[in-house]
């Protein structure tokens, strides 16, 4: 009698280059598992991946080399059919004990040996290929191992596939339970459906897969919550940041911007870590990243335009650099960072020139104030950009398979809903608590600060779900 607590052994098999290793990367959320390449015959040996809940191993998935010689192999098997008529596994065993066959079918033998030692197999199919005779032969050979087989249709998000022809052909071969799973862009609940279908093939033992799935769902919910807390911390840190400087400190604005940029980057890094991605993952993507750094500078006006946010009229005038920092002059804000742009560009002289442009009265007030003390704060629009970028990053990470190598597209159309009244109101209410910011000073924990972070994080989670999170499913 089989032990129901023993780990299920699942062989992942299929023609070469169909995405077997990619599937394991995505299921394990480990982008370093095995070797993936567009070249055929990449995986040369069987490699195991264990998954479970805590120390309880529930499933062992075996990545195998790609099948390439199915037609010749089936002929060889058929040639010795007379001896082992009707007994598929015996035929396969005979093949595996035939030294000559082992030389010719070295890779195939590794797959078949693993399949005989497994409880079931997942047969990975590239649905961009038509149902060719060699694939039918592969299925016929695998069937002789007499193990449950779950065909998995990969590359389903590509247009113009042979998916329906594959489904018809599989049904005719008696394979009625089939799963679609794009390893690079797994569909919402794709993983859950995969384990559920695999479970049905394994009867009572398959129920253990539900435990694994429940644990993965909990992990996903926790990751999402933690990510929203990271973003909430960032928003709070930047919104409450206030820096005063006196005349002569020409670097003050530059340093201020730099600190905010670094704060954003540390949030990005933490989020990447949370989702088991790293900076190098993003350098090839179309997220606005370049080598892990945001490609579009936070304080560049074009960043706002690119994200579909409107610049205020006053801001556009002088904000070639430094847009988005509010310079408070004796309590009167100049609005957006026009003056700061000037300050950054050429220091005090430029600020004076800029002042002349906007009128004598303002000029005097600027000059007077500059000689005294200014306070820097981050503009609301920049907070909106910060929030938007983090939510876009989070959504992209949640819907990205760990096999993904291609670029992720960011949809700017969703921006407007990311800064709803409630978030603006919460931000407005916390702006005054300047001791909460950890940008210029070590973090000072307080229950009030914590409560604001929690509240903001909850608001953000709500936003995340209304936008649809593939990892968690829509509500
Ligand atoms: N667009 C897209 N590409 C994929 C998908 N799955 C795999 N790929 C790509 O297909 C190629 C082959 O993927 P692998 O995971 O190495 O395939 P394999 O079946 O393990 O290949 P062998 O080990 O050589 O048999 C790689 O370039 C992957 O990036 C998918 O679902 N969508
Ligand atoms: Mg492989």
Domain ranges of the chain: 8-201, 221-466
- Considering every ligand atom, which ligand is closest to the CA of 16? 1
**Cα 365 to ligand 2 centre (Å):** 68
Q: What residues have their beta carbon closer than 5 A to ion ligand 2?
A: 20-21, 42-43
Which amino acid residue places its CA nearest to atom 23 of ligand 1? 43
pLDDT reported for residue 289: 52
Report the SS3 class of residue 299: coil
From ligand 1's centre to the CA of 436, what distance in Å? 48
The CA distances from residue 97 to 68, 76, 89, 94, 384, in Å, are: 20, 13, 12, 5, 67
For all residues of the chain together, what is the average pLDDT?
A: 79
Answer whether 209's CB lies under 8 Å from 202's CB: yes
CA of 36 to the centre of ligand 2 (A): 6
3-state secondary structure of 475: coil
Output Rg (C-alpha) for the chain, integer angstroms: 29
Per residue in 177-229, pLDDT (tens digit) is 999 998 887 777 889 999 999 999 998 888 899 999 999 999 999 999 999 99
Q: How far is the CA of 384 from the centre of ligand 2 (A)?
A: 43
- Per-residue pLDDT at 326 exceeds 70: no
Instruction: Tell me the pLDDT band of 121, cut-offs 50, 70 and 90.
Output: very high
CA of 393 to the centre of ligand 2 (A): 28
With a cut of 90, say whether residue 114 has pLDDT above it: yes
Encode pLDDT of 146-186 as tens digits. 999 999 999 998 889 999 999 999 999 999 999 999 888 77
Which of 11, 17, 106 most suits a substitution to test ligand 1, by most atoms within 8 Å of the C-beta? 17
Q: How many CB atoms lie within 10 A of CB 349?
A: 11
Please answer whether residues 233 and 453 qualify as being in contact, where contact means their C-beta atoms are separated by less than 8 angstroms: yes
Helix (H) or strand (E) holding 112, with range, is: helix 106-116
Distance between CA atoms of residues 329 and 326, nearest Å: 9
Name every protein residue with a CB atom under 6 angstroms from any ligand 1 atom.
16-22, 36-38, 40-43, 65-66, 154-155, 182-184, 403, 405
Whether pLDDT at 130 is above 50: yes
Res 351: pLDDT: 41
The pLDDT tens digits of the residues spanning 327-348 come to 544 333 444 343 443 333 333 3
Q: Is the model's pTM score more than 0.85?
A: no
Which position has the token pair 């560009």? 345
Tallying the residues shown for the chain, one arrives at: 475
What CATH topology corresponds to 8-201?
Answer: Rossmann fold (3.40.50)
Q: Are residues 220 and 471 in contact, defined by beta-carbon separation less than 8 angstroms?
A: yes
| % of the chain at pLDDT higher than 70 | 72
For residue 5, what are its two tokens? 């607590």
Please say whether the dihedral angle defined by the alpha carbons of residues 426, 427, 432 and 434, taken in this order, is positive or negative: positive
């Amino acid at each position: 009698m089989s032990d129901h607590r023993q780990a299920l052994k699942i062989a992942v098999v299929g023609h070469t280059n169909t995405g077997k290793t990619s599937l394991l990367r995505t299921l394990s959320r480990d982008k370093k598992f095995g070797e993936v390449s567009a070249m055929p015959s990449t995986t040369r040996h069987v490699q195991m991946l264990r998954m479970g809940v805590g120390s309880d191993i529930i499933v062992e998935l075996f990545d195998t080399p790609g099948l390439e010689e199915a037609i010749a192999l089936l002929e060889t098997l058929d040639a010795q059919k007379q001896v082992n008529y009707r007994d598929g596994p015996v035929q396969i065993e005979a093949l595996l004990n035939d030294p000559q066959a082992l030389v010719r079918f070295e890779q195939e033998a590794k797959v078949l040996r693993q399949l005989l030692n497994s409880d079931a197999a997942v047969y990975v199919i590239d649905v961009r290929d038509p149902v060719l005779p060699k694939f039918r032969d592969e299925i016929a050979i695998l069937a002789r191992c007499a193990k449950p087989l779950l065909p998995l249709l990969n590359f389903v998000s590509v247009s113009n596939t042979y998916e329906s022809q594959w489904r018809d052909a599989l049904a005719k071969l008696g394979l009625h339970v089939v799963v679609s799973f794009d390893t690079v862009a797994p569909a919402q609940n794709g993983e859950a459906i995969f384990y559920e279908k695999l479970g049905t093939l394994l009867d009572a033992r398959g129920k253990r897969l539900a435990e694994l799935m429940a644990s993965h769902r909990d992990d996903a919910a926790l990751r999402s919550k933690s990510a929203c807390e990271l973003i909430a911390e960032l928003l709070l840190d930047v919104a409450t940041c206030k820096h005063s400087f006196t005349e002569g400190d020409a670097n003050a604005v530059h340093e201020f911007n730099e600190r905010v940029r670094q704060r954003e980057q540390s949030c990005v890094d933490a989020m990447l870590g949370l989702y088991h991605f790293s900076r190098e993952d993003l350098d090839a993507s179309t997220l606005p990243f370049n080598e892990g750094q945001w490609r579009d500078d936070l304080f560049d006006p074009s960043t706002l335009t690119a994200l579909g946010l409107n610049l205020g009229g006053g801001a556009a005038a002088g904000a070639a650099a430094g847009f988005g920092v509010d310079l408070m002059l004796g309590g009167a804000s100049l609005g957006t960072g026009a003056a700061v742009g000037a300050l950054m560009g050429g220091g005090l002289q430029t600020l004076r020139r800029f002042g002349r442009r906007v009128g004598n009265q303002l000029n005097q007030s600027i000059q007077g104030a500059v000689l005294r003390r200014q306070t820097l704060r981050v503009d609301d629009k920049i907070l909106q950009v910060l929030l938007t970028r983090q939510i876009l990053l989070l959504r992209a990470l949640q819907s990205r398979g760990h096999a993904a190598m291609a670029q992720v597209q960011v949809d700017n159309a969703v921006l407007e809903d990311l800064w709803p009244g409630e978030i603006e109101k919460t931000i407005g209410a916390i702006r005054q608590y300047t001791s909460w910011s950890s940008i210029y000073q070590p973090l000072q924990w307080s229950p009030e600060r914590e409560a604001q972070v929690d509240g903001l994080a909850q608001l953000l989670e709500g936003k995340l779900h209304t936008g649809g999170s593939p990892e968690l499913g829509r509500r």
